[in-house]
């Protein structure tokens, strides 16, 4: 800093004010200092400035998996919104959803000096009262059933699943089969519960659940079983990746989609419109989820009170060519 001050012909205090973005520095002086910085290859020490201010302009994100479409797209949305607000993101992925791992991640983020944490928690871990998080850390949670203890932002899983099932029933299908996600997944549980509740409300038979692990291979295995069910004319799949596997299996077994079997997915991944046939699916607004997470974090950092509870982001059904009225039946 002293070298920059000497080259620019100003005081070290002026260099410090320019480094910190002080608007009181006149523009001509600011440019002299910036030119000297470039000439000398000087970079302000952001870590030192952060320690002085007690503000690190960094949001930590803890996530259970980077293989899940929902997690990756939510993380992308959080990173974009944080960047627009002038914050960086530090990511800590966990290899297993255990309480010890979550506590360890918070310890690591504390060492890395972050201002707040967004926890993308897709499993039923925060529901247990035995999990305690550091009391001084500002936390916002995505995809969890912990709204009584934290501020949670999530897609309206139940609304999305109900919309998918009702769409198929309105096309004249007598019932809807379901390929669910993993049992430990909060989102999968919500979608499965809404599927079953909708069928019961409509007086429809509830078929046995087939379960996958979010991957296309598990959807393919489920699709092979569904192809052997003579009464299966409609399927609601808990995510688009498994729906891709279902489509492949039905095709290999000579089942036409949607003429013989209608298929609905969940997520609306960018590739969904390029499936064969293009997939009808529930669209999740990941950008809005990320925006609400970062907004809640910034409000907490400003000292505002952010109450516990769950903010739900609505879904919409993207209707494409994989659904049609039941063969030999009237829609409605």
Which tens digit of pLDDT belongs to each residue from 250-266? 999 999 999 999 999 99
Residues in contact with 184: Cβ distance below 8 Å, sequence separation at least 6, in sequence order: 97, 123, 124
Find residue 310's DSSP bridge partners.
152
Backbone angles phi, psi at 6, to 5 degrees: -65, -45
- Alpha-carbon distance of 225 to 261, in angstroms, equals 13
- pLDDT of 124 reads 63
Three-state DSSP class for 245?
Answer: helix
218 pLDDT exceeds 90?
A: yes
List the strands of the sheet with 234-237, edge to edge: 210-211, 177-180, 234-237, 262-267, 280-283, 316-318
Q: What percent of the chain has pLDDT over 70?
A: 89
Tell me the CA distances in angstroms from 39 to 3, 7, 14, 36, 318, one per residue in order. 11, 9, 17, 5, 55
Torsion of CA 11, 16, 20, 21, to 10 degrees: 10
Reply yes or no: is the peptide bond before residue 258 cis, omega within 30 of 0.
yes
- pLDDT of 17 reads 84
193 pLDDT exceeds 60?
A: yes
- Taking residue 273's Cβ as centre, other Cβ atoms within 10 Å add up to 14
Report residue 221 as tokens: 């295995």
Q: Could you tell me where the DSSP H helices lie in 23-140?
A: 27-40, 46-53, 69-84, 99-112
Task: Judge residue 204's burial from the number of C-beta atoms within 10 Å of its C-beta, 0-12 exposed, 13-18 middle, 19 or more buried.
Answer: middle
- pLDDT of 330 reads 44
The predicted-structure confidence for 147-178, as pLDDT tens digits, reads as follows 667 889 999 999 999 999 999 999 999 999 99
- Give the mean model confidence (pLDDT) for residues 97-123: 82
Bridging pattern class, strands 262-267 and 280-283:
parallel
Of 49-58, 110-119, 160-169, give the lowest mean pLDDT range: 49-58
Binning pLDDT at 50, 70 and 90, where does residue 332 land? very low
Q: Are 266 and 164 in contact (CB under 8 A)?
A: yes
Binning pLDDT at 50, 70 and 90, where does residue 315 land? very high
Three-state DSSP class for 58?
Answer: strand
Q: What is the pTM of this model?
A: 0.81
Binning pLDDT at 50, 70 and 90, where does residue 331 land? very low
């Amino acid at each position: 800093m002293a070298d920059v001050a000497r080259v620019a012909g100003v005081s070290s205090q002026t260099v410090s004010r320019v480094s910190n973005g002080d608007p009181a520095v006149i523009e001509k002086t600011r440019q002299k200092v910036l030119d000297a910085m470039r000439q000398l290859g000087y970079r302000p020490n952001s870590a030192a400035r952060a320690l002085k201010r007690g503000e690190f302009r960094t949001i930590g994100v803890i996530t259970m998996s980077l293989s899940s479409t929902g997690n990756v797209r939510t993380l992308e949305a959080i990173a974009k919104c944080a960047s627009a607000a002038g914050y960086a993101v530090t990511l800590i992925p966990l290899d297993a959803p255990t309480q010890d791992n979550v506590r360890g991640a918070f310890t690591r983020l504390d060492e890395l000096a972050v201002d707040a944490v967004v926890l993308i928690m897709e499993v039923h871990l925060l529901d247990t009262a035995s999990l305690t998080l550091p009391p001084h850390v500002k936390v916002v949670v995505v995809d969890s059933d912990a709204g009584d203890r934290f501020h949670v932002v999530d897609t309206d899983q139940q609304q999305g699943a109900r919309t998918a099932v009702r769409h198929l029933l309105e096309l004249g299908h007598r019932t809807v089969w379901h390929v669910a996600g993993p049992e430990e997944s909060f989102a999968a549980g919500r979608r499965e519960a809404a599927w079953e509740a909708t069928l019961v409300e409509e007086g429809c038979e509830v078929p046995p659940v087939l379960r996958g692990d979010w991957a296309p291979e598990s959807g393919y295995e489920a699709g092979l079983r569904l192809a052997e069910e003579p009464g299966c004319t409609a399927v609601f799949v808990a995510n688009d990746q498994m729906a891709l596997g279902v489509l492949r299996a039905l095709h290999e077994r000579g089942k036409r989609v949607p003429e013989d079997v209608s298929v609905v997915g969940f997520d609306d991944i960018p590739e969904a419109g390029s499936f064969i046939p293009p997939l009808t699916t529930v669209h999740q607004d990941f950008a809005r989820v990320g925006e609400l997470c970062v907004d809640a974090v910034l409000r907490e950092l400003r000292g505002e009170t952010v109450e516990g509870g769950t903010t739900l982001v609505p879904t919409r059904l993207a209707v494409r060519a994989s659904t049609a009225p039941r063969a030999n039946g009237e829609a409605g």
